[in-house]
Amino acid sequence: MSTTKHVAVVGATGAVGVEMLRCLEQRGFPVGEITLLASARSAGKKMKFRGSDVTIKELKADSFKGVDIALFSAGGGISRDFAKHAVDAGAVVVDNSSAFRMDDKCPLVVPEINADDVKKHNGIIANPNCTTAISLMALYPLHQAFGVKRIFASSYQAVSGTGAQAIEELAHQARKWADLKREWDAAKLDHPPQVYPHQIAFNVIPHVDSFLDSGYTKEEMKMENEGRKIMHHPGFRASVTCVRVPVFRAHSVAISAEFEKPVTVEAAREVLGRAPGLDVIDEPEHKKYPVPLDIAGRDNCAVGRIRKDCAMDNGLAFWVVGDQLLKGAALNAVQIAECL
């Protein structure tokens, strides 16, 4: 078997696709050949990889000849339509959409947690939801030590989770407000937003993904459903409120967790300090705790504000932050490819 791999990136021009290329390059992944795939309107354009120009090709059913690993980040519809063609051509698909996450035949993997599940694939491996992956980086080590029963959580999700157009919408609205030289109490702009149902600049929107009959959104239920699968913990329960905030590219999550065993702050810090891919930044007396501006661009997630939860038995409250485009998407996908 060749020591180098022919890698295809589907959705190469998107925010996550760009980060996938960067991760492949920075981590020294053994790419022998790279194929960049996108929509017809992007075909013919060029992107840089390892200092060379690579021409983008239009995604088609026959695009995967000779490909070993196909990293998909172009939305669930594209994954459902084209992943099977990649598998039929002999590639292993690592899919960043929600298309296959809850498919019993597809492993759902965070390598620091359940890397062995990669071995069970039948051609497709799913990348988890970004908020779930970032949260579990801190929650799973605690679960191993103390046995998590349930969590209550609120997310503070960056616009990068919606894609490049949302990043530009936030930037455009901020520039527009600055140009108008508005006062702070007149921050609402006159022109309608395009990506979100409400203006995102200087605002928070408690609405990520579509609403279910239960009143929760699909995004909110992913924490429970995907968490159960990744942690192999069918009894795990999660009540989550997901909120979009005017931050460019790192998600934050406030978590209150209840455990089977008694837990102390000191024991939790010791466990979290040993966890792979996680930094502990927890010195509130010195105003040190993770914030998205500091964590953006970092591979590791970070946890802080660790304290006893005063409303639950065996409870712990903490705050975890991770780069949505990296551990929440591109980096995790490339780590799965490394497992392969």
* Contacts for 330 with CB less than 8 Å, ≥ 6 apart: 16, 17, 19, 20, 22, 23, 73, 96
Q: What is the DSSP letter of 275?
A: -
Nearest to residue 56, comparing CAs of 4, 9, 103?
A: 9
C-beta of residue 299 within 8 angstroms of C-beta of residue 326: yes
188: amino acid identity, one letter:
K
> What is the distance between the alpha carbons of residues 291 and 28, in angstroms, rounded to a whole number?
28
Q: What is the DSSP letter of 6?
A: E
> What is the distance between the alpha carbons of residues 183 and 176, in angstroms, rounded to a whole number?
13
The active-site residue out of 130, 143, 242, 301 is 130
205 strand-pairing partners: 244
> What is the distance between the alpha carbons of residues 48 and 66, in angstroms, rounded to a whole number?
21
* Greatest distance between any 2 Cα atoms in the chain: 64
* Contacts for 290 with CB less than 8 Å, ≥ 6 apart: 252, 279, 281, 302, 303, 304, 319, 320, 321
> What is the distance between the alpha carbons of residues 99 and 166, in angstroms, rounded to a whole number?
22
Q: Is 121 a catalytic residue?
A: no
Q: Which residue has the tokens 């995604």?
A: 59
C-beta of residue 295 within 8 angstroms of C-beta of residue 319: no
Q: Is 191 a catalytic residue?
A: no
C-beta of residue 140 within 8 angstroms of C-beta of residue 231: yes
Q: Estimate the share of the chain in helix, then strand, then coil, as percent rounded to the nearest 5.
A: 35, 25, 40
* Active-site residue set: 130, 251
